[in-house]
Amino acid sequence: MTRTIAERLAAAGVTLGGPSAPTANYVPWLRSGAHLYISGQVSKTHEEGIMGRVGADLDLEGGQAAARLCGINLLRQVSAALDGDLDRVRRVVRLTGFVQTVAEFAAIPQVMNGCSDLMVDIFGDAGRHTRSSVGVYALPRNCAVEVDAIFELID
């Protein structure tokens, strides 16, 4: 039996509330044709934040948790853009992840698996995507991870 997106969210322990508002001069999402572009989402919400450098302040598991939180924030923006109807997502096309890390930390793709795994958990095979993972010196508000995304929509 195929589970709905809502059932998959519940199974993953994800509750979608309202998304965070932009903190600068940009829009959080933009639809162009059949694609929905989501601006970079950091590892912070109204209630929690995962901050610092992976490899110094956070270990690999902490980095993965930060990437997963970015994924949840991406889903919040998608939900807002689609009036709560995540079933309108045909597929996750691309994720681009930025991991605030120390120079010696090389497991950047493994950190990004925290977000990638969430997309597959929620969307199944349609959650498999192309991806780039980049280590960076600094991110806004000292967040550990930032991820942006492109989704293809039905309709």
Average pLDDT value for residue range 122-127: 97
Q: Among 99, 34, 102, 89, which Cα is nearest to 64's?
A: 99
Assign 1 a pLDDT band (cuts: 50, 70, 90): low
CB 39 within 8 A of CB 26: yes
74, pLDDT greater than 90: yes
Q: What pLDDT was estimated at residue 65?
A: 97
pTM, 2 dp: 0.96
Domain ranges of the chain: 5-11+25-153
Q: Is domain 5-11+25-153 in CATH 3.40.50.300, yes or no?
A: no
57, pLDDT greater than 90: yes
Q: What pLDDT was estimated at residue 17?
A: 85
